[in-house]
Structure 1
Amino acid sequence: MFSKKVVNVGNIKIGGENPLVIQSMTNTDTKDVLSTVNQINNLSNAGAQIVRLSVRDLEDIEPLKKIIKNVKIPLIADIHFNYKVAIESIKAGISKIRINPGNIDKKDKIKEIVKYAKEYKVPIRVGSNSGSISKKFLNISPEKALAESALEQVKLLEKFEFEDIFISAKSSDAIQTFKAYKYIKEKVDYPLHIGITEAGIYEDSLILSSAGIGALLLNDIGDTIRISITGDPIKEVISANKLLTLLGLKKGIRVISCPTCARTEINIEELVKKVKKLTNNIQTNKNINIAVMGCIVNGPGEAKHSDIAIAGSRQTAAIYQKGKFYKNVKKDELENELINLLNNYKWE
């Protein structure tokens, strides 16, 4: 099962029976307050519930304060090397900090961060990364090194009586990442932030992240997710929403369509594109399946499991609602009939 322990990030509860949370990260200059605020708001509108941003040095703290005041969702400060930046981010009002065990590993510095995290009730994500593993773990398997690098710092936080902890252990290798998280899950029960790091540009990231994140989620591992994509972070949020919806882990609309073959009697690809365009921005608190099928072989059977379904035939197409036959329409009337049906459907 997913992590039992519940940790708050701002007003969001993560872990336990709470829904999976989608996260992304800004790629604007943190010192550019306006651009960063605009991007955070755009990410939020796309469906991100938490956004991480780089806080690189003490000069980023004043802009950070302004950013926090001008957005509505919880923010995570991504900290590397300088523990004082972590402390100042906490004091500035950040909702969570992320530290890398390979970059901040001195006990006295961690203890000082914990002191302020306790005072301000700010959780800490211990985020190990295959690109910055502690040297002491370089002689063991990559996945174990990734996991142990995070777990060592978790133990240090526990030693300082701090348990508002998140853990991540990301690699660009999906198999290593899966094994690392599985190893961690067997050792501790803190909420896990999952993802494949350095996953590449859009198409490559979708395939690699779907394999890696999907495998973890289907094994009940993960409480927050990020699909890392080189480029526009809005794509990360849209992709994460779609992945969770298609896996049945988030309420939403799923469009099912056949792969087409010689039996196909209607233009499936064009029709599916139009269905997706009509439904892309619809918000619903239900799981809704729309099936677009090209012939009568699998069409009627798929229709029984769908809220709206179409099954093409040589002269006409059959439309189904809630698993029951609704009507036959001529092919040249199908698109208008479908548009009318979608426009009048009760999505809530």
Structure 2
Amino acid sequence: MSADSISAIRPWRMIDRRKSRQIMVGKVPVGGDAPISVQTMTNTPTEDVAATLDQIRRCEDAGADIIRVSCPTAEATENFDKITRGAEVPIVADIHFHYKRALEAADKGAACLRINPGNIGSSERVAEVVRAAKANGCAIRIGVNAGSLEKDLLEKYGEPCPEALVESALDHIKLLQDHDFHEFKVAVKASDVFLAVAAYHGLAETVDCPLHLGITEAGGLIGGAVKSSIGIGNMLWAGIGDTIRVSLSAEPEEEVRVGFEILKALGLRTRGVRVVSCPSCSRQGFDVIRTVQALEERLQHIKTPLSLSVLGCVVNGPGEARETDIGITGGGAGKHMVYLSGVTDHHVESDDMLDHIVGLVEKKAAEIEADMSDAGEATEAAE
């Protein structure tokens, strides 16, 4: 039994997800009992279709379920249909103030419109956007942000606070509901972890729509990943959240990878290789740090969920290896023990170790995929 299978039957590892209604963002279900989706956002000029599609493909390879693209100008939406047709995943059009950009993006294949209804002007303009969304099967994502709260709410509360973010979200929700539109999800983001978490908890108690989680402007790759993991992880652990975006000052595919690592750590999604490795010490029989770095880089193409333990010595190595699909522990004289399905199997020399482990992982992934394919065919035959 794999480590993922074992964790599935341990009640102290279970997360009781908040019950939310489900909407569709293109072909991706969001909310209800659907898997928590991972999103990111392109940073290329949208007018440059080729560059934008190239970045989208890298994000798709990293596992992105939904990708957001900014549409600030008429030039950005002019060829937006080329982007939506060229992408494999649903595309969200990011709209802030110009309601016409929302109309154009909806007509050109956007699966979702990211707007704040109160920011685009009159009720008539909101009605136009709703009509366009309904006509084109678009969802809407209401995006409240502590850095751009409405002036009246700042005057009322004196500063961004959880109550202000929730009130802003409810005001925007009402604008859509007044026009009989209900295919929406909501975010109440802040760069302050405590503020964001409190706002999401408050909103989760008030509405049943799907919630889009994020700690906005989280920072660079390391700092932002830590900050996002604390904030998003806190909410997911509490059962809150239906889709996530990790906002980093880094390439968007890195946001996707961090997002999946958060979900994998909580047992909410399984994708690719889950690496268990030690921080290394003077007992290590090989360079653990450089080995793990190399393995993570060389195994990015593996999408099949499986586990790999890389331990520098035999203190904790055998125990960790028993819980993973493939394991290696450092030994003396340049020989290291390899474990398969938790059982000692063979030794490998230091010079051959990296290529050997990559080969074992690729072989195991292929076996798992074949088993899944056979199981699927058997189920179809039984039906």
Distance in 2, matches of 1:84 and 1:335, equals 54
CA shift for structure 1 position 81: 1.4
1:63 corresponds to which of 63, 66, 79: 79
Give deviations 1:27-80, integer Å, cap 9, x for gaps. Answer: 122222222222223322322222111111334332223322333321111111
2:222 corresponds to which of 203, 217, 225: 203
Q: Which runs of 5+ in 1 are unaligned?
A: none
1:145 is paired with a residue whose SS is: helix
Give deviations 1:156-181, integer Å, cap 9, x for gaps. Answer: 21222211011011111111111111
Distance 1:108 1:283, change over 3 A: same
CA shift for structure 1 position 334: 4.8
* Residue number in structure 2 paired with 1:311: 329
The 10-residue stretch of structure 1 (30-39 or 175-184) with the greater mean CA deviation from structure 2: 30-39
The 10-residue stretch of structure 1 (124-133 or 58-67) with the greater mean CA deviation from structure 2: 58-67
Q: Does 1:297 align with 2:297?
A: no
2:45 is paired with a residue whose SS is: coil
Distance in 2, matches of 1:313 and 1:72, equals 46
* Residue number in structure 2 paired with 1:7: 23
The percent identity for this pair of structures is 39
CA shift for structure 1 position 126: 0.7
| Aligned Cα root-mean-square deviation (Å) | 2.3
Distance in 2, matches of 1:70 and 1:331, equals 44
One-letter identity of the residue aligned with 2:149: I
Distance in 2, matches of 1:230 and 1:328, equals 42
Distance in 1, matches of 2:171 and 2:76, equals 29
CA shift for structure 1 position 299: 1.7
Q: Residue 172 of structure 1 contacts residue 196 of structure 1 at CA under 8 Å; is this kept in 2?
A: yes
* Residue number in structure 2 paired with 1:162: 181
One-letter identity of the residue aligned with 2:329: A
2:327 is paired with a residue whose SS is: strand
Distance in 1, matches of 2:248 and 2:227, equals 11
Q: Residue 102 of structure 1 contacts residue 128 of structure 1 at CA under 8 Å; is this kept in 2?
A: no
Q: Residue 266 of structure 1 contacts residue 312 of structure 1 at CA under 8 Å; is this kept in 2?
A: yes
Q: TM-score scaled to structure 1, two decimals? A: 0.90
One-letter identity of the residue aligned with 1:295: C
2:344 corresponds to which of 317, 325, 331: 325
Q: Does 1:276 align with 2:292?
A: no
One-letter identity of the residue aligned with 1:297: V
Q: How does 1:37-48 map to 2 (within 5 A)?
A: 37-48=53-64
The 10-residue stretch of structure 1 (16-25 or 245-254) with the greater mean CA deviation from structure 2: 245-254
1:35 corresponds to which of 40, 51, 62: 51
Q: How many residues align?
A: 346
* Residue number in structure 2 paired with 1:176: 195
* Residue number in structure 2 paired with 1:54: 70
CA shift for structure 1 position 102: 5.9
Distance in 1, matches of 2:121 and 2:356, equals 63
Q: Residue 50 of structure 1 contacts residue 76 of structure 1 at CA under 8 Å; is this kept in 2?
A: yes
1:124 is paired with a residue whose SS is: strand
Give deviations 1:78-103, integer Å, cap 9, x for gaps. Answer: 11112222223222321110112563
* Residue number in structure 2 paired with 1:264: 284
Q: TM-score scaled to structure 2, two decimals? A: 0.83
Distance 1:62 1:300, change over 3 A: same
Distance in 2, matches of 1:330 and 1:67, equals 48
Give deviations 1:309-343, integer Å, cap 9, x for gaps. Answer: 22334455332221222235566665565455335
Distance in 2, matches of 1:52 and 1:318, equals 45
The 10-residue stretch of structure 1 (136-145 or 160-169) with the greater mean CA deviation from structure 2: 136-145
Distance 1:135 1:323, change over 3 A: same
Q: How does 1:81-100 map to 2 (within 5 A)?
A: 81-100=97-116
One-letter identity of the residue aligned with 1:303: A
* Residue number in structure 2 paired with 1:249: 268
Q: Does 1:186 align with 2:205?
A: yes
Distance in 1, matches of 2:355 and 2:172, equals 59
